[in-house]
Amino acid sequence: MLQTIRENSQGIIAKVIVGLIIVTFALFGVESLIGLANSEKAPAEVNGEEISAVDLQRETELQRRQILAQMGENADPAAIDENLLRRQVLDALVSQEIRLQSAEEQGLYLSESMIDQMIVATPEFQVDGQFDPAQFESALRAVGMTPLMYRELLRKEQLIGQERMAYQLSAFSTPTQVRQLLALDRQTRDIAWVQLSLEEVEAGLEISDADVKARYDEDMERFMTEPQVVLSYIELNQNDFADAEAVDEADVRAAYEQELVRFEADEERSAAHILLEAGEGDEAELRQQAESLRERILSGELTFAEAAREYSADPGSAPQGGELGYNARGVFVGPFEDALFSMEAGELSEPVRTEFGYHLIKLKDIRATEPPSFAERENEIRAELASEQAEANYVAALEQLADLSFSSADLEVPSEELGLEIQQTEPFSRAGGNSELTSNAKILRAAFSAELQDEALNSEPLELSRERAVVVRVKEQIPSRQLAFEEVKERLEAELRRERAAAALEAKADELLTALESGQALNEVSALNWSEVANMGREAESAPLEINRYAFELPRPEGEASSFGRVSLRNGDLAIVELKAVHAADVSDLDDNLVKQMGGFIANRNGQLTYQARVEALEEAAEVERN
């Protein structure tokens, strides 16, 4: 057979075929053949540029991990709508590509050396303040990226950021604009208002049974219940396996002995110090001051505490005579710690130079920590061992529960084998119930799944936490039904009462407004109590927040006439608001620093809005094809 192949490969046809393959490779590369077998379209194209499936998959996974991290230790991956997440990520990638294309069209550029500098300066890629290649690669692997992928991502983000910052930093504001804004912000208004109570109108309404019945009859579909289920379940709890009293005394002793082996007595030293702070002065002069002060202390001219209170630049310890208390290694900066732990008790150090200046250190006392006794540690060790054993037993029981619940036709067998009580939930719908169990997303999905409802199976063990799991089974299915009139009568009556009261209140408010706008006086229009506030500023607490904000929306009064309007309050009441006068603020003597600060804020805001408007225009004009 091999000989036949060899003979045929020498023919003219075979040579022509091989020649064509070589030419294809040379002109178009291997991808020309591979592409024939993989013609799947890119997820999206933006102005002819593809967004690759790899990018979409990577970004979707990153977003998915972030969502799970936000959910906490009880995160349920099944709770994430993968299709919705994919659409959101694709939209974000499309927007990013549009902004990137805009930045590149402006000729913006980021060199490879700049990218290198950014990577090296990233704290997440450093160990002890220095860039570490292993840490860099490890951090990227954790999020599913390679160094090249990260460099490309960094390049895109920085280019987009360059264009955005160009808009923000080139925006400006004038002093006149700043003064106008501050004048508006400091403007005050004279207002009056009256509050019309919805509750009072409701109390005076009569709703007949016929009206309620008519509402029920016209919208009966609203009053169908949701299908519900009742679950039987058994719960496995790790805490039930914990028994500190059952832990063997020998095991506790052995664990304590291991602790003693690991224990290292930490030496603690009680010290005081005087800091002569480094400034712009001469270094030699500063050291001479420290040495002179040391000699004065040693000669008895000053006590250490007196010298600390008078000369130390450390505000935390100087008032206490330089006292630092007992401390172990790892608390102070290197030179200070080295000197402190090389001294004898009662010794006063030579001047010690640190980044803060020169220190004089006095070592007052040395003490070594002792290991705790067996009696002190016994209960805690016993509890730890019990917890470890409980976890092991729980894991074993969880595996057994999974096997038993899968092979059993009900919960009786796993209940008897594991000594678990069969419990029952209250009826609940897909929206969930009021208990921890019936409001859990995992339980809701299982309870309304086809396996449990149609096939009457036990669920697999569903973990409520790391220490608790349940197996559930549908005990009863309650189909949806039409609620009887009597069951919803009270709710419908309250609904009608609220609707009619709101309509009556609006009619009353319109009537008052019409009378006021026609020129009638307040006391002629209504006997209600009007409240008044003069010179009210924005966000002032002298009027309800809704009234305050609405008062600054009303048009400036013309001549002697007031401006009127009505506003809804959060409790359903309405308020009639009168704007009597507007008082301009005097901003002629504003502090120049305030004007400059506000100008920067306004300019930055203008730049953000301008860039956002550009992005919106680009997105509207872009040719985007989603596949």
Nearest-angstrom CA–CA distance, 444 and 201: 43
For the chain, percent of residues with pLDDT exceeding 70: 91
Find out whether 573 and 201 touch, Cβ atoms under 8 Å: no
| pLDDT exceeds cutoff 70 at 19 | no
Q: What's the pLDDT at 10? A: 54
Helix (H) or strand (E) run with residue 45 in it: strand 44-46
391-424 pLDDT, tens digit per residue, is 889 999 999 999 999 999 999 999 999 999 999 9
Q: What's the pLDDT at 33? A: 46
Domain boundary among 368, 398, 420: 368
Token pair, residue 395, equals: 């894991």
Same domain, 322 and 352: yes
CA dihedral 584, 588, 590, 592 (to 10 degrees): 140
Same domain, 361 and 440: no
Q: Is residue 500 part of a domain?
A: yes
What do you get for the CA distance between the two ends of the chain, in Å? 48
Nearest-angstrom CA–CA distance, 76 and 462: 11
Q: Is residue 221 part of a domain?
A: no
| pLDDT exceeds cutoff 60 at 27 | no
Burial (CB count within 10 angstroms: exposed 0-12, middle 13-18, buried 19+), residue 135: middle
By C-alpha distance, which of 328, 364, 336 is closest to 348? 364
Q: What's the pLDDT at 505? A: 94
For the chain, percent of residues with pLDDT exceeding 90: 46
Q: Is residue 593 part of a domain?
A: no
Q: How confident is the model at residue 31 (pLDDT cuts 50, 70, 90)?
A: very low
Q: Phi and psi dihedrals of 484, rounded to 5?
A: -70, 155
Q: Summarize the confidence of residues 440-469 as an average pLDDT.
A: 91
Q: What's the pLDDT at 572? A: 92
SS (H, E, C) 528-547: CCCEEEEEECCCCCCCCHHH
Nearest-angstrom CA–CA distance, 136 and 125: 5
Same domain, 277 and 360: yes
| pLDDT exceeds cutoff 90 at 361 | yes
Same domain, 363 and 339: yes
Q: Phi and psi dihedrals of 372, rounded to 5?
A: -65, 150
Beta strand residue intervals within 281-396, DSSP E: 323-327, 352-354, 357-368
Q: What's the pLDDT at 561? A: 87
571-588 pLDDT, tens digit per residue, is 999 999 999 999 998 888
By C-alpha distance, which of 578, 541, 511, 563 is closest to 194? 578
Nearest-angstrom CA–CA distance, 120 and 530: 67
Q: What's the pLDDT at 546? A: 95
Q: What's the pLDDT at 525? A: 67
Domain boundary among 478, 505, 532: 478
Same domain, 268 and 314: yes
Task: Specify the residue for token string 């006063």.
Answer: 348
Lowest-pLDDT choice from 4-8, 206-210, 263-267, 305-309: 4-8
Q: How confident is the model at residue 130 (pLDDT cuts 50, 70, 90)?
A: confident
Find out whether 233 and 473 touch, Cβ atoms under 8 Å: yes
Residue count of the chain: 627
Helix %, strand %, coil % for the chain, to 5?
55, 15, 30
36-91 pLDDT, tens digit per residue, is 444 567 889 999 999 988 888 888 888 888 887 777 766 667 677 888 889 999 99
User: DSSP alpha helices (H): ranges in 121-146?
Assistant: 133-142
Find out whether 594 and 563 touch, Cβ atoms under 8 Å: no
Find out whether 262 and 505 touch, Cβ atoms under 8 Å: no
| pLDDT exceeds cutoff 50 at 3 | no
By C-alpha distance, which of 572, 552, 568, 566 is closest to 514? 566
Q: What's the pLDDT at 537? A: 93
Question: CA 268 → CA 182, 323, 373, 485, distances in Å?
Answer: 59, 14, 20, 79
Q: What's the pLDDT at 35? A: 47
User: DSSP alpha helices (H): ranges in 467-570?
Assistant: 485-517, 522-525, 545-551
By C-alpha distance, which of 248, 480, 279, 589 is closest to 385? 248
Instruction: Tell which wins on pLDDT, 499 or 5.
Output: 499
Domain boundary among 478, 504, 534: 478
Lowest-pLDDT choice from 356-360, 517-521, 525-529: 525-529
Same domain, 321 and 413: no
Q: Is residue 61 part of a domain?
A: no
Q: How confident is the model at residue 159 (pLDDT cuts 50, 70, 90)?
A: very high
Q: Is residue 307 part of a domain?
A: yes
Q: What's the pLDDT at 423? A: 95
Burial (CB count within 10 angstroms: exposed 0-12, middle 13-18, buried 19+), residue 413: middle
Q: Summarize the confidence of residues 244-257 as an average pLDDT.
A: 86
User: DSSP alpha helices (H): ranges in 72-132?
Assistant: 82-105, 112-120
Q: Summarize the confidence of residues 18-27 as an average pLDDT.
A: 50
Domain containing residue 197: 187-211+488-583
Same domain, 34 and 16: yes
Lowest-pLDDT choice from 19-28, 180-189, 327-336, 528-537: 19-28
The total domain count for the chain is 4
Q: Is residue 513 part of a domain?
A: yes
Q: What's the pLDDT at 6? A: 45
Q: Is residue 291 part of a domain?
A: yes
Tell me the pLDDT of the chain averaged across its residues.
Answer: 86
Predicted model pTM:
0.56
Same domain, 528 and 462: no
| pLDDT exceeds cutoff 80 at 487 | yes
Domain with residue 305: its CATH number is: 3.10.50.40
Q: Is residue 447 part of a domain?
A: yes
Task: Give Dmax over CA atoms of the chain in angstroms.
Answer: 118
Q: How confident is the model at residue 548 (pLDDT cuts 50, 70, 90)?
A: very high
Q: What's the pLDDT at 503? A: 95
Same domain, 552 and 474: no
Strand ranges of the sheet holding 49-51, from the earlier edge strand across to the other edge: 49-51, 44-46, 624-626
Same domain, 35 and 11: yes
Nearest-angstrom CA–CA distance, 264 and 299: 39
| pLDDT exceeds cutoff 70 at 378 | yes
Find out whether 63 and 70 touch, Cβ atoms under 8 Å: no
